[in-house]
Amino acid sequence: MGYYLRLWWHWARLSLGRESLFRGNAWLRLVGHALWLGTAWAFFAALYLHVPAIAGWRPAEVWLLIAVNELAQLLYSMFVGQGVLWIPDLIWQGELDSILLKPAAPLFTLSVGRMRLYNAPSLALPMALGGYALHTLGLQPSWGQWLWFGLLLALGVAARYALTLAVVSLAFWVTRVYAMPALLAELFRLAGYPEGIFRGAMRALFTWGVPVLVVANFPTTALLGRAGWQPGAEAALAVGFWCVVALALWRAGLRRYAAVGG
């Protein structure tokens, strides 16, 4: 365990060191995230000029949802999102063996070996919006709620990771899966919509099939004091299911992998 922590720390320092050479990029990314958050805010703010609530969600509740969604997307992209998308290229180029030969679990190396910690300053944006939303709502979540929120947020990030790993593992069998991760990225953008608009079969689909609601809606309900045990159970089951599928595909793919290099 200590060995993996040291490795993680080493990669984290490398990621920060590399990016410190391009400080202008960090500012541009901050602007990009601000624009993204601003666009999402403008979209809902314009709608709230015409309706008092959207599927039972008041404006400040949606600001909180937007903030939590951005937080989840940033955490995912900072720690594992970039690494997992690297897998298809390594498979197609026959370079996965360079990872397999390293003295560490391949999935660990692939997942966290390409962290994007330079997105860390952007975390301030959703935190500020979330703080403003909580203040507007007059909410002061208890420590228990914060803990529950943290757990659900971690499950949300894990859900996205597991589903993406399952999809990119298809690269062992299919020559081109570029459109699939892009499709997943678009689907996970739906995480910023209030869960009330997803009803019946759609709610089931976006909880179990593509666990979009797990990412931001479930953690947000924890902060709003609406989350009982049910969102946690649903999130844990969805994440567990997709982890099993992703690992099965990954291991089966590794067994048929044949690097042809020179």
Interface contacts to other proteins, rule CB under 8 A: 25, 28, 31-32, 35-36, 38-39, 42-43, 46-47, 49-51, 54-55, 176, 179-180, 182-183, 186-187, 189-190, 193, 196-199, 202
Residue 72 · residue 134 · CB < 8 Å: no
Shortest distance (Å) from residue 166 CB to other proteins: 17
CA 155-168-75 angle, to 5 degrees, is 35
Q: Which is nearer to other proteins, 154 or 187 (CB)?
A: 187
Question: Which residue lies nearer to other proteins by CB, 100 or 180?
Answer: 180
Give the nearest distance from C-beta 46 to other proteins in angstroms.
Answer: 5
Measured from the CB of residue 42, what is the shortest distance to other proteins in angstroms? Answer: 7
Shortest gap between Cβ of 193 and other proteins (angstroms)? 5
57 near 195, Cβ under 8 Å? no
Query: Measuring CA to CA, how many Å separate 13 from each of 7, 19, 114, 223?
Result: 10, 10, 11, 32
Could you tell me if 137 and 226 are in contact, meaning their C-beta atoms sit under 8 angstroms apart? no
**C-alpha to C-alpha distance for 232 and 215, rounded to whole angstroms:** 12
Instruction: Indicate the residue among 16 and 35 with the shorter CB distance to other proteins.
Output: 35
Q: Which is nearer to other proteins, 200 or 262 (CB)?
A: 200
Q: Which residues contact 89 (CB under 8 A, 6 or more apart)?
A: 95
Distance CA 217, CA 191 (A): 7
3-class SS string, 139-171:
CCCCHHHHHHHHHHHHHHHHHHHHHHHHHHHHH
Instruction: Write down the least CB distance from residue 210 to other proteins, Å.
Output: 10
| Residue whose CB is less far from other proteins, 21 or 179 | 179
Q: Report the residue number, 28 or 233, with the smaller CB distance to other proteins.
A: 28
Q: Alpha carbon 241 to chain centroid distance?
A: 17
Please report how close the Cβ of residue 54 comes to other proteins at its closest, in angstroms.
7
Q: In one letter, which amino acid is 5?
A: L
Q: How far is the CB of 147 from other proteins (least distance, A)?
A: 30
**Closest-CA residue to 156 (of 82, 94, 204, 222):** 222
Cβ-based nearer residue to other proteins, 36 or 257 = 36
Give me the residues paired with residue 57 across strands.
54
| Residue 13: closest CA among 110, 100, 118, 105 | 118
